Amino acid sequence: MTSASKTSTTLSAIGDLIKLLPTGTVFVFQFVNPILTNSGECNATNKWLSSILLVACGLSCAFSSFTDSYTGTDKQRHYGVVTPNGLWPSSVPPANSVDLSAYRLKFGDFVHAALALLVFAVLGLLDTNTVHCFYPGFVSTQKQLLQVLPTAIGVVAGALFMFFPNSRHGVGYPLTYDSNDTTTKTTADTVDTTPPQQQTV
């Protein structure tokens, strides 16, 4: 395999992993980390600030796995935190039309949170600026790990999603198909199903 094809495969694998993370968190990390690490030329303050960013973004990725959303009858998107009793907060008026108890906390949510945390840890700790800041002697090994780890984690993630499929639309994740949309159901319920009257001659 040529160097160009290896790079293409690595970038493709990394791109697939990023899809498992909340978009906003990834954007914040990629934008702020070069500033806090001084583009890899760190002093003690830079290391502390970058460490705080890594921890905060990691917790954000894990927390997003415990959020979900629905489209209320007001056609607005409403987000909440999943709990053993359902989605919280449940006092929003549009929630009256939705069975929020169906959004109960599941074991799969912990699996997805652990997976999101693992993916971010790999991408964050192997980021070029992070490597140059915390362990500059690790640069040569970083390239090898970037060729292996994203693909390996992608395989593990695919297997886990087979056993624990994710149907949530939490904070930071793009909405593809909304199975929680109540507006369609409401519209369908209001359609007049009365058969047409026969015309008299």
Confidence at residue 149, expressed as pLDDT on a 0 to 100 scale: 80
pLDDT tens readout for residues 55-99: 999 999 999 999 998 887 778 888 899 999 888 875 565 556 677
Confidence at residue 37, expressed as pLDDT on a 0 to 100 scale: 94
The C-alpha atoms of residue 66 and residue 112 are separated, in whole angstroms, by 9
pLDDT tens readout for residues 129-156: 998 999 888 877 877 787 778 778 878 8
CA distances (Å), origin 100, targets 33, 63, 74, 76, 103: 38, 19, 16, 16, 6
Comparing 139 with 102, which gets the higher pLDDT? 102
